[in-house]
Amino acid sequence: MLAPTIVAMSLSDSHDASSSAARRPIVVQKYGGSSVADVERLGRVADRIVAARRAGNDVVAVVSAMGKTTDQLLALAREVTLTAEPPRRELDMLVSTGERVAMSLLSIAIQARGVEAISFTGSQSGIITNDRHFDARILEVRPHRIEDELVRGKVVIVAGYQGMSYRREITTLGRGGSDTTAVALAAALSADRCEIYSDVDGVYSADPRVVADARHLPEISVDMLQEMAHAGAKVLNAHAVEWARRAGIAIHARSTFDAVSERPKETVVRATPTTESMARAVSCDRQVAWLEVRGADAEARALAVLEEAGLPVLAFDASGDGARAILSLISAPDWKGTRDKLRVVGEVRDDVAFVSVVGPAIASEASSVAAFRRALASIRPVVTTLSPLRLSALVAAAEAESAQRALHDALVCAPVV
Ligand code: ADP
Ligand code: ASP
Ligand code: MG
């Protein structure tokens, strides 16, 4: 397999607001599904892009499918599937259309405002991936067509979440993958700024929809955010954060719905930690399942099913006469088919959620572990796991929100010292 490479990557935090005298500053902006959920919102995004272009920037805008389009397309695929799981290649052909609709409408809306624009698919943008369908990884970015159009003065709109494999097949980058498109393009273009716009004005110490007193974090370290993203905080995709780390890019996370301003409220994601960027935060992943099997034979059969389905394993423990695993379901196009196979060999629960507190060295402090267990005592987790930057517990799905609030109160608002 080809090793992942980053073409023309030279960004670092220190380049963040700089630009060479010879060319206009390049700004890569990404707009998520909620930002373009309907025609009115799409028009407001077009206004924003036009403002950035008229301010003298070269603008590349990466766009997601409108609203819940991706979910709706996947639901259609499930309706016509007779076998256990829809073929992943065809799923990629299907879901990649969502971003094509959004990119072309956005380009039309920008041109209607008197600014030249052109839209490109992932493959036209030179996003080359491996050959894994539905959760492909970007190997290389060759953005020549984008560069040519920027030189001509056009705004370039790019369909997020998709690429082309080295076998020339259309691929998609896993749910939430438009963030990755944006950061990988920012690296390849040596962009001066990478701005990710969504329905929230940055990263908070917990999901602000769930924890009312979650704190806005003006800065966060790449390490912290990556751990949060792996633990389910979908504010930024974990692979996008990994690209930012490798390319030394600072990501500016902002709200699409705030007025355009010189100093918008935002979170800056940086490699260099500061006191603030080391704060603690709570994350929750609701797309998980719990598997328990008894005996070596059942364990081998269960692992074979997981291997075939390509399901990521978040935690695994084999002790006594059994094995237990926490599975991530985000890249499973048809979890129900896999679940039926697993139920033949063991016990499976998917009415669960994985709640975590992320923080520097958190798992090495006995006081934090004790506070974590106390906070969840009445909720009685199925299992508690830890990794250097994270304390996690699997809880009943119905308890997911109360668990996040309890953990935020105990370990973020009143950190143990
Ligand atoms: P987009 O569609 O623009 O990519 P997402 O829905 O993927 O946006 O991500 C934004 C959502 O992430 C927010 O609406 C918020 O509910 C959720 N979220 C989860 N954890 C956090 C957090 N720690 N800080 C901010 N938002 C968070
Ligand atoms: N539209 C894709 C999804 O819903 C990609 C994205 O939104 O980033 O996952
Ligand atoms: Mg997203």
- CA 138 to ligand 3 centroid distance, Å: 17
> What is the number of the ligand 2 atom nearest to the C-alpha of 237?
8
Mutate to test the pocket of ligand 1, among 161, 230, 234 (most ligand atoms within 8 A of CB): 234
Check pLDDT > 50 for residue 14. Answer: no
What confidence tens digit (pLDDT) does each residue in 90-142 have?
999 999 999 999 999 999 999 999 999 999 999 999 999 999 999 999 999 99
Mutate to test the pocket of ligand 2, among 64, 94, 134, 243 (most ligand atoms within 8 A of CB): 64
Nearest CA to ligand 2 atom 7: 176
Give the pLDDT score at 13. Answer: 36
Spatial distance between the Cα atoms of 318 and 388, rounded to a whole number of angstroms: 20
State in Å, rounded, how far the first CA of the chain is from the last one: 46
| CB-neighbour burial class of residue 67 (10 A; exposed 0-12, middle 13-18, buried 19+) | middle
Spatial distance between the Cα atoms of 346 and 294, rounded to a whole number of angstroms: 7
Spatial distance between the Cα atoms of 182 and 251, rounded to a whole number of angstroms: 10
- CA 88 to ligand 3 centroid distance, Å: 21
Check pLDDT > 70 for residue 417. Answer: no
Compute the mean pLDDT over every residue in the chain, rounded to the nearest whole number: 91
Ion ligand 3 neighbours, Cβ < 5 Å: 32, 176
| CB-neighbour burial class of residue 75 (10 A; exposed 0-12, middle 13-18, buried 19+) | exposed
Nearest CA to ligand 2 atom 8: 176
> What is the number of the ligand 2 atom nearest to the C-alpha of 71?
4
- CA 235 to ligand 3 centroid distance, Å: 6
Q: Which residues contact ligand 1 via a Cβ below 6 A?
A: 32-35, 64, 176, 198-200, 203-204, 206-209, 233-235, 281
What confidence tens digit (pLDDT) does each residue in 168-202 have?
999 999 999 999 999 999 999 999 999 999 999 99
Give the pLDDT score at 271. Answer: 86
> What is the number of the ligand 1 atom nearest to the C-alpha of 205?
23
Spatial distance between the Cα atoms of 415 and 410, rounded to a whole number of angstroms: 7
> What is the number of the ligand 1 atom nearest to the C-alpha of 198?
3
- CA 178 to ligand 2 centroid distance, Å: 6
- CA 180 to ligand 3 centroid distance, Å: 10
- CA 41 to ligand 3 centroid distance, Å: 16
What confidence tens digit (pLDDT) does each residue in 250-277 have?
999 999 999 888 789 999 999 876 665 5
Task: Name the band, by pLDDT with cuts 50, 70 and 90, for residue 290.
Answer: very high
- CA 346 to ligand 3 centroid distance, Å: 33
Spatial distance between the Cα atoms of 64 and 66, rounded to a whole number of angstroms: 6
- Ligand closest to Cα of 181 equals 2
71 alpha carbon, distance to own chain's centre: 16
Q: Which residues contact ligand 2 via a Cβ below 6 A?
A: 32-33, 64-65, 70, 98, 160-161, 175-178
Spatial distance between the Cα atoms of 133 and 46, rounded to a whole number of angstroms: 31
Give the pLDDT score at 18. Answer: 42
Spatial distance between the Cα atoms of 181 and 128, rounded to a whole number of angstroms: 11
Nearest CA to ligand 1 atom 9: 235
Sketch out the chain's domains with CATH numbers.
17-277 (3.40.1160.10), 283-413 (3.30.2130.10)
- CA 200 to ligand 1 centroid distance, Å: 6
Spatial distance between the Cα atoms of 351 and 190, rounded to a whole number of angstroms: 44
Spatial distance between the Cα atoms of 188 and 9, rounded to a whole number of angstroms: 5
C-alpha distances in Å from residue 206, one per residue of 216, 225, 231, 330, 378? 9, 12, 12, 20, 21
Q: What percent of the chain has pLDDT over 70?
A: 92
What confidence tens digit (pLDDT) does each residue in 362-392 have?
988 899 999 999 999 999 998 899 888 999 9
Residue entry with tokens 């624009």: 117
Nearest CA to ligand 2 atom 9: 175
- CA 96 to ligand 3 centroid distance, Å: 15
Mutate to test the pocket of ligand 2, among 96, 138, 178 (most ligand atoms within 8 A of CB): 178
- CA 320 to ligand 2 centroid distance, Å: 41
What confidence tens digit (pLDDT) does each residue in 38-59 have?
999 999 999 999 999 999 999 9
CB atoms within 10 A of CB 264: 15
Spatial distance between the Cα atoms of 353 and 383, rounded to a whole number of angstroms: 11
Check pLDDT > 70 for residue 344. Answer: yes
> What is the number of the ligand 1 atom nearest to the C-alpha of 33?
2
Give the pLDDT score at 12. Answer: 35
Spatial CA neighbour of 224 closest among 361, 331, 327: 361
Give the pLDDT score at 363. Answer: 86
pTM of the complete model beyond 0.85: yes
Give the pLDDT score at 84. Answer: 64
| CB-neighbour burial class of residue 38 (10 A; exposed 0-12, middle 13-18, buried 19+) | exposed
